[in-house]
Amino acid sequence: MTQRPDPSQVEDLLAELGPQVLGALVRRHRHLDRCEDGLQEALLVAAQRWPLQGLPTNPRGWLVTVASRRIADGLRSDGARVERERRVLLAQPVDPGVAPPADEAGGPTPVDDTLLLLVLCAHPDLTPASQMALTLRSVGGLTTEEIAAALLVPVGTMTRRLTRARATVTEALEREGTLGQPDLVGRLPVVCHVLYLVFNEGYSATSGLELQRRELATEAIGLTRLLHALVPDDAEVAGLLALLLLTDARAAARTGPGGALVPLPEQDRGRWDRAMIDEGTALLLRTLPAGRLGPYQLQAAIAAVHDEAPSVEATDWPQVLALHRLLDQVAPNPLRTLDRVVAETEVHGTAAGFALLEQVADDPRIAGHHRLAVVRAHLHERCGDRAGAVRWYREAGRRATSTAERNHLLGRAASLDGA
């Protein structure tokens, strides 16, 4: 043991080591729910002992050992109970010589344990909602209550969702065995998508009173930083981190008094976080020449053009449009095409915008989405059709599930109608 650390230092260290230890435990024991319970007991013991006795020489190994003992004790207890019940049924005497299964000795870690945990939480057998929740719980360290509050789900519902997700992952581990490096590389896009979803829910909440849920956006950036540190040579992971930084840099300017939504053209750019913009831009500049372009890198490049413009009028719209067209080729998506409609309108006028809009308007994936109505309203407003703009802003407000967005859209309609 080393000299006694400050309790806050212990708390920070345990938060850092938690995902690593859980990944190591899952790799060894495979039962995610048992591993989480064992980890929590080990963390509690460490939080009590380390400030008094000092840090162990190998804190991570200490936690793995203590948690593994708790898991083994639980397995032995369960095994003994099952054996007693079986012997009662068969009227057989208990054989005291039967030894419980020995704990696995482990071996060389095939991949980083935290990366393994991220991949398991994003397992394709889980729904996107369960992937998000399990990632926030197991890797992010959020409590069930915190996740339920952030995702606007009752605690009981979230508890059941996490229980089912753990069971699904445990079953998958039993079926597939330990993941190898090729499996992890193949599943990285799923991990990135989960982190992207977590961030988007934090940056633009899909429902509820608040426009943003800052704890989710912050957690997503932190987890993406961690993923980037684990696979620093992956260009799309770096592109995702750049995208989140360049987007979140505008967070403070997105709301006005009372939490009202402030759209990008009306934002006070002096409130944008220049340090985040500089970091995201530098990361993007290192990433773009490194390999084949992917959707996260291209979205980050678009965000960088917007962030670098001193005003909406000074935005390099031809560059934004070129990037959007390339993005449509690399990763077609009707929601992203709606953003391209705005760029087409800025460069080539409303006729070009309407023409592109009609190409995607019938796509069932966005047919009832409020953003389709928002873009229609924007185009009608741009070409001077005030009545059409009012109609579509009202329709967008009716479709919106976020209270802040709904209020903004209906307010826009009212403003145009009374002008």
Strand ranges inside 193-310, DSSP E: none
pLDDT digits (tens, 9 = 90+) for 319-368: 999 999 999 999 999 999 999 999 999 999 999 999 999 999 999 989 88
pLDDT band per the 50, 70, 90 thresholds, residue 76:
low
pLDDT digits (tens, 9 = 90+) for 7-20: 888 888 988 888 88
Instruction: Quote the DSSP letter at residue 371.
Output: H
CA 262 from chain centre, in angstroms, equals 24
Q: Please report the pLDDT score of residue 93 as a whole number.
A: 37
DSSP reduced 3-state for 261: strand
Average pLDDT over residues 111-132: 85
Q: Please report the pLDDT score of residue 2 as a whole number.
A: 60
Q: Please report the pLDDT score of residue 83 as a whole number.
A: 44
Closest CA to 112 of 20, 225, 3, 29: 20
Distance CA 30, CA 24 (A): 9
Question: CB-hemisphere CA count at 13 Å for 66?
Answer: 20
pLDDT digits (tens, 9 = 90+) for 283-297: 999 988 776 789 999
Is the model's pLDDT at 96 over the cut of 50? no
Which has more confidence, 176 or 147?
147
Closest CA to 370 of 327, 331, 413: 413
Is the model's pLDDT at 110 over the cut of 70? no
Average pLDDT over residues 100-123: 61
Closest CA to 30 of 142, 106, 128, 139: 106
Distance (Å) of CA 289 to CA 286, 324, 387: 7, 18, 47
**Sign of dihedral through CA atoms 358, 400, 333, 291?**
positive
Distance CA 373, CA 361 (A): 10
pLDDT digits (tens, 9 = 90+) for 240-277: 999 999 999 999 999 998 889 999 999 999 999 999 99
Identify whether the C-beta of residue 204 lies closer than 8 Å to the C-beta of residue 402.
Answer: yes
Of 91-100, 157-166, 178-187, 392-401, least confident by mean pLDDT is: 91-100
Identify whether the C-beta of residue 132 lies closer than 8 Å to the C-beta of residue 195.
Answer: no
Average pLDDT over residues 102-114: 49
Measured between alpha carbons, how far apart are the two ends of the chain, in Å?
73
| pTM > 0.85 | no
